[in-house]
């Protein structure tokens, strides 16, 4: 990782809603109604927006995310760091939002084996060249996502373009 590098959490989202937050909100609603029955109307308004099976789907997504992340991490990190890494990346109580960055220092403190990009100048130049090329591509074209794998497969997603009317 470089000085400016960061990683993001692996918290599952359902239609743009963080699953862990939806589950916590529902539990909060149940507790609030128990503690203060007059809050029922407020919570009914909020909970009525949930689609059928939304909470169950969120629970399933969280369970799957936990299962996959544990399986992958057990292969790549020391056992004594597993709980700390899972909490840092998988519990949105710490990150609070999906777009919050986890920096190099936090990754190292959690026990991830981080190699400083700046330690190999030639490799850093290659990485930054690819990064800058992609940033220019994303800025100048309708491309919004690029995924390329080690088998040569590539997926490119473009944003829907709406024609702009000619200016008079």
User: What is the secondary structure of 16-56 as a DSSP string?
Assistant: TEEHHHHHHHHHHHHHHHHH-GGGHHHHHHHHTTSPTTHHH
**The predicted structure's pLDDT at residue 45:** 94
What backbone phi and psi angles, to 5 degrees, belong to 158? -110, 150
**The predicted structure's pLDDT at residue 99:** 64
Looking at the fold, whether 75 and 24 belong to one and the same domain comes out as yes
**The predicted structure's pLDDT at residue 122:** 97
Rounded to 5°, the CA angle 97-141-16 comes to 25
Looking at the fold, whether 153 and 70 belong to one and the same domain comes out as no
Looking at the fold, whether 81 and 99 belong to one and the same domain comes out as yes
Looking at the fold, whether 82 and 19 belong to one and the same domain comes out as yes
Q: Are 139 and 132 in contact (CB under 8 A)?
A: no
Looking at the fold, whether 138 and 125 belong to one and the same domain comes out as yes
Looking at the fold, whether 137 and 98 belong to one and the same domain comes out as no
**The predicted structure's pLDDT at residue 16:** 86
Domain that holds residue 73: 6-117
Cα first-last separation, the chain? 50
Nearest to 25 by CA among 8, 1, 49: 49
In a domain, 62, yes or no: yes
| Secondary structure (DSSP) of 57-104 | HHHHHHHHHHHHHHHHHHHHS-GGGHHHHHHHHH-HHHH-STT--EEH
In a domain, 167, yes or no: no
**The predicted structure's pLDDT at residue 166:** 73
**The predicted structure's pLDDT at residue 11:** 84
Looking at the fold, whether 62 and 99 belong to one and the same domain comes out as yes
Looking at the fold, whether 78 and 31 belong to one and the same domain comes out as yes
In a domain, 92, yes or no: yes
Q: Domain count of the chain?
A: 2
| pLDDT tens-digit profile, the chain (168 residues) | 998 899 988 889 988 889 999 999 999 999 999 999 999 999 999 999 999 999 999 999 999 999 999 999 999 888 999 999 998 888 877 666 666 789 999 999 999 989 999 999 999 999 999 999 999 999 999 998 899 999 999 999 998 767 667 776
- Would you state the torsion angle of the CA atoms of residues 93, 97, 99, 104, taken in this order, to the nearest 10 degrees? -20
Looking at the fold, whether 42 and 74 belong to one and the same domain comes out as yes
Looking at the fold, whether 126 and 152 belong to one and the same domain comes out as yes
pTM over cut 0.75: no
């Amino acid at each position: 990782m470089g000085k400016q590098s960061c990683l993001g959490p692996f918290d599952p989202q359902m239609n743009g809603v963080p699953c862990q937050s939806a589950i916590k909100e529902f539990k909060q609603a149940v507790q609030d109604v128990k503690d203060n029955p007059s809050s029922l109307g407020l919570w009914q308004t909020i909970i009525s927006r949930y689609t059928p099976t939304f909470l169950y789907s969120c629970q399933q997504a969280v369970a799957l995310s936990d299962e996959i992340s544990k399986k992958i991490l057990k292969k790549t990190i020391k056992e004594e760091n597993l709980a700390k890494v899972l909490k840092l990346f998988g519990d949105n109580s710490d990150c609070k939002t999906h777009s919050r960055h986890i920096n190099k220092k936090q990754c190292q403190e959690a026990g991830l084996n981080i190699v400083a990009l700046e330690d190999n100048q030639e490799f850093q130049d290659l990485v930054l060249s690819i990064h800058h090329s992609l940033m220019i591509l994303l800025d100048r074209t309708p491309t919004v996502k690029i995924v390329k794998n080690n088998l040569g497969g590539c997926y490119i997603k473009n944003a829907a373009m709406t024609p702009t009317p000619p200016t008079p």
